[in-house]
């Protein structure tokens, strides 16, 4: 039986694409393997969000070719789309599939690389995929591309115009995951708010359809640009299956910087959006991305950003230190800052972010919430085992239980009792704890 090895760098979207190709390869009789040295085909889904990500992509391609020179190597993703010629010249690469042809990747593998399909081994539609990165959660790519041109962004260049998947193909994929026991999906895309712009639909209608036509227990959103959200969007959260958290990239708290970034959402609109969410949805958690050290960022603008962030409050902040990305407008802007200044600002923002995160976690205490416990537990010196999961509003939480309990992939009501560093500590009523036959053979 032919085996395919799939790996990705970068964003959740690249993850979601791997999951779909795994299902497609199995449908033509391939076995999905987690071991590169065991594969006849290897697929690398590359990233190019920064120059460093592109360098890492080349490194990964070379690493897997060295591991298994006999296998056919398929390279795709943003690096392969932006540097197609260069990717083709890397030793061991047999096929480069640019982003706009990703939907045909498996078919191209067969056609161009003359890799036979094995109908006899093909999995039945709906048969369990053995690939899911974790059995609790699946990333669902609903659209690709973006019509906007933020000046720091290479993704819009690499992934092209907006393209939405049909509602039915998304529903079918989710129902397949539900059949495999997945409890939670994460709706992912490049510009998720733009879903449906090209097929006369929108994100509100899509989520309504998912709620009506699937049994998926929990629905989350990956990163969503804070604009183009359809009318009445936050009404969706009235359904407890739609979890009260959104990651809304702000990027800067100074309108003058947002203008140089060509961002569609300025500070006032952002505050209004967050206010609407918090008013309509109890316990709504907002997390965000901030770029520090954008070209021309003055001390005054950075002070504005800190003050604005403190005024809004965030459950978590991903902090990116600006680095020029060739092929973007921002890389050619005057006023590129020195690394020392960028580093110093990043440290100051990390301090504020840590403070706001503590405040957000403190506000969760003494609540009882439905936590999805994930993955395999960790053994503690005291013989207990520690499971980690996420609250509905996406705060990380752990619980320590006796080894005879297996909480993985269980949604259990959990009392949030203490803030412990970057996580909350939880307690699950003993009556709630699902017993296993024998103590779990645990990773140490």
CA separation for the pair 286, 278 (Å, rounded): 9
Residues 6+ apart with CB under 8 A from 242: 207, 211, 219, 236
Q: Does 149 engage in binding with ligand SF4 (CB under 6 A)? A: yes
Q: Which is nearer to ligand SF4, 146 or 170 (CB)?
A: 146
What is the spatial distance between Cα 370 and Cα 364, in angstroms, rounded to a whole number?
A: 13
Q: Which stretch binds ligand SF4 (CB under 6 A): 33-41, 143-151, 316-324, 326-334?
A: 143-151
CB of 75 to ligand SF4, least distance (A): 22
**Residue in the structure block whose two tokens are 């939670």:** 184
Among 53, 155, 273, 397, the residue binding ligand SF4 under the rule CB under 6 A is 155
**Looking only at residues 224 through 283 of this chain, which bind ligand SF4 when binding is defined by CB under 6 A?**
225
Binding residue for ligand SF4 (CB under 6 A) from 42, 146, 242, 369?
A: 146
Binder to ligand SF4 among 47, 74, 115, 153 (CB under 6 A)? Answer: 153
List, in order, residues 6 or more apart from 298 with CB less than 8 Å away. none
Residues paired with residue 247 on neighbouring β-strands, in sequence order: 223, 287
3-state SS class at 415: strand
The CA distance from 175 to 119, in Å, is 23
Main-chain dihedrals φ then ψ at residue 328, nearest 5 degrees: -110, 155
How many residues bind ligand SF4 (CB under 6 A)? The answer is 10
Residue 340, C-beta contacts closer than 8 angstroms, at least 6 positions apart: none
In the bound complex, what is the minimum distance in angstroms from residue 150's beta carbon to ligand SF4? Answer: 3
Closer of 223 and 364 to ligand SF4 (Cβ):
223
Stretch that binds ligand SF4, among 56-64, 150-158, 288-296, 305-313 (CB under 6 A): 150-158
Contact 184/217 with Cβ under 8 angstroms?
yes
Torsion of CA 279, 395, 185, 440, to 10 degrees: -150
**Sign, Cα dihedral of 330, 336, 339, 340:** negative
Closer of 129 and 190 to ligand SF4 (Cβ) = 190
Which residues in 186-225 contact ligand SF4 (CB under 6 A)?
190-191, 225
| Contact between 9 and 18 (Cβ < 8 Å) | no
**Least CB distance to ligand SF4 at residue 429 (A):** 43
Q: Is 156 in the site for ligand SF4 (CB under 6 A)?
A: yes
Instruction: Give min distance, CB of 146 to ligand SF4, in A.
Output: 3
**By CB under 6 A, is residue 4 in contact with ligand SF4?**
no
Region near ligand SF4 per CB under 6 A, out of 55-63, 125-133, 149-157, 168-176: 149-157
Residues binding ligand SF4 (CB under 6 A): 146, 148-150, 153, 155-156, 190-191, 225
């Amino acid at each position: 039986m032919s085996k395919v090895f799939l790996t990705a760098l970068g964003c959740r979207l690249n993850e979601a694409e791997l999951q779909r190709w795994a299902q497609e390869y199995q449908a033509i009789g391939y076995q999905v393997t987690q071991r590169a040295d065991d594969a006849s085909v290897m697929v690398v889904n590359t990233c190019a969000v920064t120059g460093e990500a592109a360098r890492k992509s080349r490194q990964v391609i070379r690493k897997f070719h060295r591991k298994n020179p006999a296998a056919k190597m398929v390279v795709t993703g943003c690096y392969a789309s932006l540097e197609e010629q260069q990717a083709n010249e890397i030793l061991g690469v047999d096929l480069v599939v640019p982003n706009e042809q990703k939907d045909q990747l498996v078919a191209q593998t067969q056609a161009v690389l003359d890799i036979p399909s094995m109908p006899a081994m093909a999995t039945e539609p709906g048969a369990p995929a053995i690939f899911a990165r974790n059995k609790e959660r699946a990333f669902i790519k609903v659209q690709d591309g973006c019509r906007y041109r933020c000046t720091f962004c290479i993704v819009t260049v690499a992934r092209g115009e907006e393209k939405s998947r049909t509602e039915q193909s998304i529903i079918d994929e989710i129902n397949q995951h539900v059949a495999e026991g997945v409890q939670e999906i994460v709706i992912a895309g490049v510009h998720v708010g733009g879903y449906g712009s090209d097929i006369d639909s929108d994100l509100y209608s899509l989520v309504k359809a998912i709620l009506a036509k699937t049994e998926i227990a929990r629905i989350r959103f990956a990163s969503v640009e804070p604009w183009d959200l359809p009318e009445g969007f936050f009404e969706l959260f009235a359904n407890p299956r739609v979890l009260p958290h959104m990651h809304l990239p702000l990027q800067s708290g100074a309108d003058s910087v947002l203008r140089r970034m060509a961002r569609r959402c300025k500070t006032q609109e952002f505050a209004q959006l967050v206010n609407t969410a918090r008013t309509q949805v109890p316990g709504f958690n907002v997390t965000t991305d901030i770029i520090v050290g954008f070209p021309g960022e003055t001390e005054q603008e950075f002070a504005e950003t800190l003050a604005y962030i403190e005024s809004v409050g965030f459950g978590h902040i991903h902090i990116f230190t600006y680095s020029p990305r060739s092929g973007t407008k921002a890389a050619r802007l005057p006023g590129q800052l020195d690394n020392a200044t960028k580093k110093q600002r990043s440290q100051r923002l990390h301090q504020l972010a840590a403070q706001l995160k503590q405040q957000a976690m403190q506000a969760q205490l003494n609540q009882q919430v439905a936590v999805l416990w994930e993955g395999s537990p960790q053994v503690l010196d005291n013989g207990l085992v520690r499971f980690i999961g996420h609250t509905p509003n996406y705060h990380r939480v752990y619980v320590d239980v006796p080894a005879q309990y297996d909480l993985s992939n269980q949604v259990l009501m959990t009392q949030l009792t203490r803030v412990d560093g970057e996580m909350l500590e939880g307690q699950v009523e003993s009556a709630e704890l699902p017993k296993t036959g024998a103590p779990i053979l645990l990773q140490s």
